[in-house]
Chain A
Amino acid sequence: MFGQDELLSIAESALKFVEADQAEAIISVEQSALTRFAESVIHQNVAESNLHLTVRAVVGKQIGCATGNRVDAAGLRDVARRAGLLARSSQPNPAFSSLPSPLPITPAEAFSKATAASTPEERAGAVETMVATAKKARAIASGSLSVASGELAVASSLGIRAYQPWSHAEAVIIVADESDASGYGEWQGKDIADFSPRQAAETATQKCVASRGEKPIEPGEYTVVLEAPAVADLLSSLNWMGLGAMAYQEGRSFMCDQLGKKIAAEGISLYDDGHDPRLFPMAFDYEGIPKQKVMLIEHGIAKGVVYDSYSAGKEGKQSTGHALPPTGAYGPAPLNLCLAPGEATLEEMIASTERGLLVTRFHYTNSVSPRETILTGMTRDGTFLIERGKISRPVQKLRFTESILKTFQRTTMLSREVKLSMGCLVPALKASAFTFTS
């Protein structure tokens, strides 16, 4: 760990080397490790120590970015020189006014000592527990257990000084048997001490056992009960279909012409909250601007999109603190999405379903028509037919082609319990008339 003072001091040194009107330096330091297992054997086991320095230089309305992974004097000087050079060689962007000015930042609790101190031996021990749980059911386990810790610092010539240490841990387990039945378990959190390998493995093993003897089912429209990983997959896709201001301003977003209108069922409230401790908290964005809690959909009504300083400037608004690193071209995006819970339990959702499908997770989802939020993908690792309020049998994987917004319009129940999956905090969800195409 560099620590706040040293990392910000390095960022300030980088700024001093930049020949430009304005400059910004972002330093991201990361120590990560991942233990991967398949067929009940650890086959890939890696660790990495690295950092990324990004300098954005502004000359008039011309902008250039440079990156590097050295922060000795030569490294800082090289990145600063290249950023300045590109800015001077670029062309003016008339819509750009200025890098943002500093605002007070409320710190977020994002770091875990246990995660940062995780050892290869501890990770192997957790994998042993997961494999042993699967073996009891005459099945094999595959998956990964990863930990990462780091520091993010942003400094600018306009006085921004932002620093945050962070941690991230994640486990995925698929339990499969000789009949190709499989089940899925996962866990995400900032503190590895909260992870129970036995619990994740038991979830996946139970799903695998319940999936034995799966048979095909006719595609068509079904009521679906989507467990948290499946809901998180829908939200992650929706994110890139237009929850940021750039897509909205370019007319590509499903939110265009919809603000203030009802676009989902009453129970659907979607927001981004960088300070919710149940996610991976971020106190500020990659411009060092504090993250605001932004309501995107409230009780089914479209409320807004998220902004960085550039997109906010185009509309005379304030940034909501959702800038991504300046080297990309996605524009702003929410990174801490939460779908508000409902009142039901998963059991109640199943019990209230006359005929439908219970979906554990989706696989390889991809947007077919972003403006209509149409997505396609497969089910995987646990899909079950529900008949007369009970799970009647496992079914083979199916392909769906469906609009996410229409699924939200047809949502009839949401679970009380929420889970962190794919970085989104989500409940399980029940919706009618969900289309499976093959």
Chain B
Amino acid sequence: MIGPDIARKAIAAALKAGASYADVRMASEQGEAIAMKNGVVETLTSSANEGLGIRVIAEGAWGFAATNSTDNQEIEETARLAVRIARASARLGNEPVKLNEVEPARAVWKSDFKIDPFDVPLEEKVKLLKEVDRIVRRSPKVRVSMGRMVFMQEEKWFVSSEGAEIEQHRTESGGMLSATAVEGEEVQRRSYPSALDGYHALRGYETIEEMDLPRGAESASQEAVDLLTAPLCPSDERNLILDSSQMALQIHESCGHPIELDRVFGTERSYAGTSFLMPDKLHNFRYGSNMVNINADATLEGGLGSFGYDDEGVPAQRTDIVKEGIFSGYLSSRETAARLGLKSGGAMRAESWNYLPLIRMTNINLDPGDWTLEEMIADTKHGLYAASTKSWSIDDTRLNFQFATEAAWEIKDGSLGRLLRNTTYQGITPEFWGSCDAIGNKSSWKLWGIMNCGKGEPPQGMHVGHGTAPARFRKVKIGMIKED
């Protein structure tokens, strides 16, 4: 089914029905997911999914319709439905939709990989997860050992009435493990390489091999058991060092979402909310300390948020978001960028063919500093080193956040001390980033992949990237959970 011919027919049908603009995304996706729990293959799924979505402007308003049908007549019907929906939208329109100019591209883009994950025998993958399980369950206190691998390939066409014809191919690979220890009423979990879906990249099976899951299994298992008897994180104000996986979550929630220009214009108010980073703050608001430099970069090799062209046909690019602590840029689309007189930042992405593209994160990255983690710890008199996300919550303007980590260690007089359980910390976004006084160097910088970024109605999941090193923040409020 996949190919430009059918897309051209759909566009012709939409234009004939009265659309002034139309684009079509056709995609074919295949996936493989393996989950092993306590040595047993619990889920083993091969998935396939294909279809086409038509986005149109008619009478100055948007309409969208999608179908899994391969029948020409039904596809043309779907195009006409998109136009009918756009006309209904126009009943409650404001100004006619304006898109800024983009050169219609004719291109083929493929993500790079060394080992096709679908060529690796299932038996090999299961064998590795078995080995991981054996290590994780060395202690009888580990009640649940979990190992997971996920692979995905997508072939996608974008064709527009402006003349764009873009073919893109993506291959994603990733995995994780976790150990859940139980003793009495205490339940503690440690994950590797991170709790947020582990580690995923726009690469092949080499991602799994480089992750060294058996090595991670050893420490995750031990720390889960140690956490059972660890003291509760005290309520206090301390200097806080976050490991790079927790930094990925920190960037995601307190920087990645508030810079989405559709949120800023209020179009996500009814679901996820708005943003405190209104346009009057652009280039003159202190978001963080001088050392904080954040960018959005869809061109990073291997990043889950990388692509050749976004789902409006705009080329992938790098945009400064925070420069020396000053808020400097947004994630944007053709329509939202036009409202600010800017070029599109190329951040329109849809979960799949059946969803409308929205402004989504690409790879949102914190530039490395010049500290090693060891130097950061040695330089901290009274602090905490917290690792791996356990829980996250932030308000609808992305200011008031409270996050929890799976593990944390006290820092006393420059040395790591005892392990603490149920660690939480909270803050207000610009105050928190304003207190950043140390960022890890290049060698501790890692590009993480998050698989479950949620946004929109109907809700869409998105795969995004965050490159970051560990970082330190001064005088952070910790310990929101009290002992009974």
Contacts and interface: CB of A to CB of B under 8 A. Distances in A.
Note whether A and B form a binding pair: yes
B187 A66 contact: no
B426 A44 contact: no
Interface stretch (A108-116, A142-150, A300-308, A347-355): A142-150
A66 B180 contact: no
A39 B267 contact: yes
A369 interface: yes
Contacts of B130: 91
B481 A42 contact: no
Contact of B91 (A42, A69, A176): A42
B269 A38 contact: yes
Interface in A246-282: 250-252, 256-257
Interface in B83-142: 84-89, 91-94, 121-123, 126, 130
Interface stretch (A19-27, A98-106, A124-132, A411-419): A124-132
B144 interface: yes
A392 interface: no
B154 interface: no
Nearest to A65: B45
Interface string A67-91: 1111000000011001101110111
A142 B48 CA distance: 35
Contact of A66 (B45, B66, B273): B45
A156 to B, nearest CB: 18
A430 interface: no
B44 A90 contact: yes
A262 to B, nearest CB: 16
A245 to B, nearest CB: 14
A326 B43 CA distance: 7
B319 interface: no
Contacts of A401: 402, 424, 480-481
B404 interface: yes
B463 interface: no
A243 B288 CA distance: 42
Contacts of A397: 395-396, 400
B61 interface: yes
A369 B70 CA distance: 47
A41 B92 contact: yes
Interface string B442-484: 0000000000000001100000000000000000010011000
A391 interface: no
Q: Which interface residue of B88, B121, B143 has the most chain A CB atoms within 10 A?
A: B88
B481 A374 contact: yes
B33 interface: yes
Contact of B422 (A46, A49, A369, A437): A369
Contacts of B9: none
Nearest to B180: A252
Contacts of B457: 34, 36, 44, 144, 146, 172
Interface stretch (B166-174, B206-214, B289-297, B385-393): B385-393
Contacts of B392: 366
A378 B396 contact: yes
A45 interface: yes
B184 to A, nearest CB: 9
A44 B354 contact: no
A368 B389 CA distance: 10
B292 to A, nearest CB: 23
Contacts of A47: 64-66, 81-82, 85
B40 interface: yes
Given A40-B92, A49-B67, A67 B396 contact: no
Contact of B43 (A50, A69, A257, A327): A327
Contacts of A50: 51, 66-68, 354
Interface string A168-185: 000011101000000000
5 contacts: A39-B94, A48-B67, A49-B68, A378-B396, A380-B395
Interface of B: 33, 35, 37, 40-51, 61-70, 78, 81-82, 84-89, 91-94, 121-123, 126, 130, 143-144, 180, 182, 185-187, 265-271, 273, 354-356, 390-396, 400, 402, 404, 422, 424, 426, 457-458, 477, 480-481
6 nearest A-B pairs in the assembled complex, by CB-CB distance: A120-B88, A251-B182, A142-B269, A124-B88, A42-B89, A38-B267
Given A120-B63, A399-B402, 20 more contacts: A36-B270, A41-B92, A45-B63, A46-B85, A49-B67, A50-B68, A50-B354, A70-B50, A78-B48, A87-B44, A127-B92, A250-B180, A367-B391, A377-B393, A378-B400, A397-B396, A399-B395, A399-B400, A399-B426, A438-B402
